[in-house]
Structure 1
Amino acid sequence: MRGAGKLALATLACLAALWMASSIQAAGSWVASAPPLTVAVPGRVASSGVLLPADPARVGGQGIAAVSWRFRLPAGRALEARLCQADRCLMLATSRGRRTAPQAWRADAPLRFRFRLPEGERRALRVEDLQVIVEHRRRAPSHK
C-alpha cells in the first residue's frame, strides 16, 4: 500500500474509533436497602425508606435502564406492591424480579417501595429485606 492509501486507511480507522467511542454509554449499577416496615391500615399506602445510590453525584445525568428488586413477606401472605420514583411507579407482581425502568427514571433520584394490604385483608404485615439493584447508563444525546 502506498503512502496516500495508508494515510486514508489510518484516517478511516481513527474516524471509526471516534464514532464508536462517542456511541459508548457509561454504565454501572448501585444497590440500596431499606429498613423493614409494617403495613397495617387497610386502604392506606405504606412507603419504605428512601433508596438512593451511595454517591448520587456520581450518577447525575444518567438514566435507569433496569431495576431488580426483592422483599420478603411472611409465608402465605400477599400485598399490593409498587416501586416508585416520584409519581411514576412499576407494579410488582412478585416479591423479587427485574424490569426495564420507565424512561423518565433518573439514577440520582430516590426510589421507594409502596405497599398496600389487599382488599379485605385486616391483619398487619411486616415486609423485610427490601433491596433494589439499579442498572444505570448515560442518556443518549437527543438529536434534534
Structure 2
Amino acid sequence: MNLRRTLASWRIVLGTVVAWPIALTWAAQGTWVAPLPGQTVVMSERPLAGVEIQPPPSLGEARIDRVRWTFRTDAPAPALKAWLCQQTFCLPLARRQGETQHFSGRSAASPFRLRFQLPVNDHGVDRVRVSAGQLIIDYRG
C-alpha cells in the first residue's frame, strides 16, 4: 500500500500527530489502464482504425488529466504513423511511447482508439505487427 495514501488522513508535525482531513481531490483521482489489442498494419493510403478501448463503466463525470501510451512493432517501421483518438479528436503520436495533456478536461468515460498507417512507398516493410501496447489514463472526478 502506498505510504502517502496510508498517511493521507494523518500529518506528523514536529513529532506531534495532528488529524488532517482527506482532500476531496485525493478521493476523486484515479487511473485506468488498458492493454492495447495487437494488430497488423498493412501498407495503405488510409489509416487503419483500431479497436475501441473501453474505459471502466464507473467513471461517471471524471475528466482526464493526462494520457500515456506505449506500443512496439515486430520490425523497424520508421514510416509508421500513429494517432490516438477520442471521439472526433485525434492526436498524432510522434513516438511509440509518451504522454500528453492534450486530452485534459475531456471525459475519462469516453472510449479511445489508436489509428495506424503504413504509407505506400518503394522501400521498407509492407506490413508491421503492432503489439505490447498499453494506454494509461489519469483522471479526476
Under a length normalisation based on structure 2, what TM-score does the superposition of the two structures give? 0.72
Q: Take 1:104 and 1:44, find their aligned partners in 2: how far apart are those partners? A: 29
RMSD: 2.3
Q: Take 1:40 and 1:98, find their aligned partners in 2: how far apart are those partners? A: 26
Bigger share in helix: 1
Is contact 1:64-1:101 (8 Å) kept? no
Q: Take 1:101 and 1:64, find their aligned partners in 2: how far apart are those partners? A: 9
Q: Which has the larger radius of gyration?
A: 1
Q: CA deviation at 1:131?
A: 1.3
Question: Which consecutive unaligned segments of at least 5 residues does structure 1 have?
Answer: 1-16, 139-144
Identity %: 35
Equivalent position of 1:65 in the other structure? 65
Is contact 2:84-2:113 (8 Å) kept? yes
Is contact 2:75-2:129 (8 Å) kept? no
Bigger share in strand: 2
* Counterpart code for 2:85: C
Question: Which consecutive unaligned segments of at least 5 residues does structure 2 have?
Answer: 1-19
Under a length normalisation based on structure 1, what TM-score does the superposition of the two structures give? 0.71
Q: CA deviation at 1:103?
A: 3.8
**Match for residue 49 of structure 2 among 47, 50, 55:** 47
Instruction: Show the 5 A alignment for 1:40-119.
Output: 40-53=42-55, 55-56=56-57, 58-78=58-78, 79-103=80-104, 105-118=106-119
* Counterpart code for 2:129: R
Q: CA deviation at 1:44?
A: 1.7
Q: CA deviation at 1:104?
A: 5.1
Q: CA deviation at 1:42?
A: 1.5
Is contact 1:34-1:48 (8 Å) kept? no
